[in-house]
């Protein structure tokens, strides 16, 4: 392979890699990484003496990926920048943007350290942003030169990570007390996907304590089986009888008590770490106002239908009697989960918006915290049709920087994103959760609902100080949705849900759901419908704990006039390729270079 820039110095590897993730089940491939100004530095430690492949991909597959391959062959380090087209054909990138910094091979492992600018101006590279990144990896026991592109067989895979998550101050919690919420001998069914729900009672601390950290406890050997874990706060009006047994979540026979657990207080996903609260904030436990009952949802992923698996994974909550300055709260913002949220089939792109309205925030903050609340982390939540989610923030009608976003949303990788800087939400603000979906592969309507084949459009805001506001959401008006498909009248009074249609004849005695499915959706009809639903008046949801409500709840509001789509900030890119460093610097002072200009320098392979 061609050496990049200069032969990599065989000196000691840099220690500036605060993040790490094991990419494979066998722990043979370790990735470490860290931010360095406008670049990202990577270090791969892989159990092979052949080549090592690493890449960034939109889909998690080999198609249209940005790939680097390297190794040490006969004592000579090599690192080469490649890309693949939509047919997965590997091509050498004419603009080499990965810079080799260190390479070492011993009797068992190959170690490579290299860096790359976040934005390289190269159309064959993927920009690295705060969105989820699908990292692809591979390795082979032979080097590239020995047999060209050796097929890497089963030594390959993909993992979703957030490469630009801000670093957390890791305060040592070794000496602090903790309690575990773990499943007890759950028989994992021999099917692709299982969601298992178990209710727990927070062990009673007779006085106030603060949870400072939540960590995953994954049973050894089950690292690829346990896909994600969510912890929900439940109604405090339950009694201990709900603790007796676990059950499949979202199941018709699921216990009613599970339906009272709606607010996510912790989320972990495969590849992720635990969650540490900022030093001045904690999750309060032990008082009457705190969570008493919680529901843990574990997503098991068993694509090989393995039988006889028994799991005891769960969570560890580390707490302290030393009370921190503020209690953390969680607000669920976005679209209230209901059939009023629906997405036509066959749509490559459909946008839904959920409103945390000015009216709701005005009332709740005005009464409880006129100085505003401070958001420090956000979880963006949708289901399998979700492709991108943005949390838009307006102050007195003027748009602020995005509160959080994920333009490469991956349902199987959901975690709270720490904000780089805390964001204050004041009376006079409003928030919009904007969700982008693709239903190209579906032939029936997709409905708002709990199951993974249904959809959601939610943001969970972690903030302090805690106020009595648990949900700030909206429901779009239903009547204009019915008129869109030609419904004239429904049977009144409405005694059933979903209600029954009276006329016209083609929908007579059908439910709202059946009529929407009967309507012949084309892409252009879907687009017109999308325009309509974004303008519909919304019903305001503005809830307190245990289903109490602020007085604004149930009022109708008009969605604010906003610019669509959201205008993203322009990206400043720079190339780290040695061949082009001086050329690029000269040019960048003279002329604004577009990505396509750079992409056309040099012959394509």
Measure Cα distances from 550 to 367, 428, 469, 507 in Å.
10, 17, 8, 38
Whether 444 contacts 455, CB under 8 Å? no
Tokens of 452: 């993974």
φ, ψ at 577 (rounded to 5°): -70, 130
Please tell me whether residue 524 adopts helix, strand or coil conformation: helix
State the SS3 of 254-298. CCHHHHHCCEEEEEEECCCCCEECCCCEEEEECCCCCCCEEEEEE
Beta-carbon-side half-sphere exposure of residue 580 (alpha carbons within 13 Å): 21
Tokens of 117: 């600018």
Rounded distance between C-alpha atoms, residue 69 and residue 138, angstroms: 9
Active-site entry in 82, 195, 277, 460: 195
Rounded distance between C-alpha atoms, residue 335 and residue 353, angstroms: 7
- Compute the residue count for the chain: 605
State the SS3 of 84-134. ECCCCCEEECCCCCCEEEEEEECCCCEEEEEEEECCCCCCCCCCCCCCCEE
Whether 573 contacts 595, CB under 8 Å? yes
- Pairing state of beta strands 193-201 and 52-57? unpaired
Please give the DSSP secondary-structure letter assigned to residue 547: G
CB-based contacts of 235, cutoff 8 Å, min separation 6: 257, 260, 261, 293, 546, 547
Beta-carbon-side half-sphere exposure of residue 172 (alpha carbons within 13 Å): 2
Please give the DSSP secondary-structure letter assigned to residue 545: G
> In the beta sheet, which residues pair with residue 299?
195, 228
Name the residue among 257, 249, 255, 243 with its Cα closest to residue 199.
Answer: 243
To the query of whether residue 195 is one of the catalytic residues in this protein, the response is yes
Query: Residue 594 CB: number of other CB atoms within 10 A?
Result: 12
Whether 256 contacts 167, CB under 8 Å? no
> In the beta sheet, which residues pair with residue 30?
22, 45
Rounded distance between C-alpha atoms, residue 198 and residue 189, angstroms: 16
Cis peptide before 413 (omega within 30 of 0): no
To the query of whether residue 381 is one of the catalytic residues in this protein, the response is yes
Rounded distance between C-alpha atoms, residue 238 and residue 116, angstroms: 53
Name the residue among 131, 250, 276 with its Cα closest to residue 568.
Answer: 131
Active-site entry in 381, 383, 393, 436: 381
Give me the active site residues, please. Answer: 195, 381
């Amino acid at each position: 392979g061609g050496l990049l820039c200069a032969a990599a110095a065989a000196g000691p590897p840099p220690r500036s890699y605060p993040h790490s993730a094991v990419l494979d089940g066998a722990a043979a491939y370790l990735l470490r990484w860290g931010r360095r100004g406008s670049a990202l530095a990577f270090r791969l430690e892989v159990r092979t003496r052949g080549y090592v492949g690493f890449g960034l991909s939109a889909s998690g597959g080999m198609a249209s990926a940005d790939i680097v391959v390297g190794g040490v062959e006969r004592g000579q380090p090599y690192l080469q920048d490649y890309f693949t087209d939509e047919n997965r054909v590997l091509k050498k990138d004419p603009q080499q943007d990965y810079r080799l910094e260190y390479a070492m091979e011993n009797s068992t492992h190959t170690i490579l350290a290299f860096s790359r600018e976040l934005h390289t101006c190269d159309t064959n590279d993927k920009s690295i942003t705060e969105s989820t990144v699908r990292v692809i990896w591979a390795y082979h026991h032979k080097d590239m030169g020995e047999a060209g592109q050796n097929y890497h067989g089963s030594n390959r895979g993909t993992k979703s990570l957030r490469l630009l998550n801000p670093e957390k101050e890791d305060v040592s919690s070794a000496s602090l007390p903790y309690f575990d919420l773990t499943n007890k001998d759950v028989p994992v069914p021999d099917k692709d996907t299982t969601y298992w729900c178990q209710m727990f009672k927070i062990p009673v601390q007779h006085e106030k304590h603060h949870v400072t950290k939540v960590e995953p406890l994954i049973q050894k050997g089950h690292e690829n089986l346990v896909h994600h874990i969510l912890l929900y706060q439940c109604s405090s009006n339950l009694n201990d009888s709900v603790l007796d047994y676990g059950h499949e979540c979202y199941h018709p026979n699921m216990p009613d008590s599970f339906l009272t657990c709606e607010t996510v207080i912790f989320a972990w996903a495969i590849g992720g770490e635990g969650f540490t609260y900022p030093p001045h904030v904690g999750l309060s436990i032990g008082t009457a106002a705190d969570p008493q009952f919680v529901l843990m949802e574990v997503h098991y992923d068993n694509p090989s239908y393995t039988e006889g698996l028994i799991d005891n994974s769960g969570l560890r909550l580390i707490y302290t009697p030393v009370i921190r300055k503020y209690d953390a709260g969680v607000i669920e913002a976005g679209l209230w989960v209901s059939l009023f949220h629906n997405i036509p089939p066959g749509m490559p792109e459909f946008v839904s918006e959920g409103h945390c309205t000015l009216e709701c925030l005005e009332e709740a903050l005005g009464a409880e915290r006129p100085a505003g609340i401070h958001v420090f982390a956000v979880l963006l939540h949708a289901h399998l049709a979700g492709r991108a989610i943005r949390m838009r923030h307006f102050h007195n009608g003027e748009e602020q920087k995005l509160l959080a976003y994920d333009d490469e949303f991956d349902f199987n990788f959901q975690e709270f994103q720490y904000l780089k800087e805390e964001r204050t939400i004041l009376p006079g603000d409003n928030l919009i959760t904007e969700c982008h979906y693709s239903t190209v592969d579906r032939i029936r309507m997709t409905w708002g609902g709990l199951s993974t084949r249904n959809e959601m459009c939610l943001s969970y805001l972690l903030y302090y100080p805690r106020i009595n506001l648990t949900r700030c959401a909206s429901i779009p008006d239903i009547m204009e949705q019915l008129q869109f498909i030609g419904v004239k009248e429904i049977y009144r009074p409405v005694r059933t849900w979903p209600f029954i249609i009276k006329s016209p004849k083609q929908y007579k005695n059908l439910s709202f759901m059946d009529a929407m499915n009967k309507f012949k959706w084309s892409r252009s009809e879907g687009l017109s419908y999308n325009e309509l639903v974004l303008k519909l008046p919304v019903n305001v949801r503005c809830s307190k704990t245990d289903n109490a409500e602020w007085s604004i709840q149930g009022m109708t509001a008009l969605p604010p006039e906003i610019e669509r789509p959201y205008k993203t900030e322009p990206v400043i890119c720079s190339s780290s390729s040695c061949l082009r460093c001086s050329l690029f610097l000269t040019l960048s002072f003279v002329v604004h270079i577009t990505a396509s200009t750079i992409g056309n320098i040099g012959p394509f392979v």
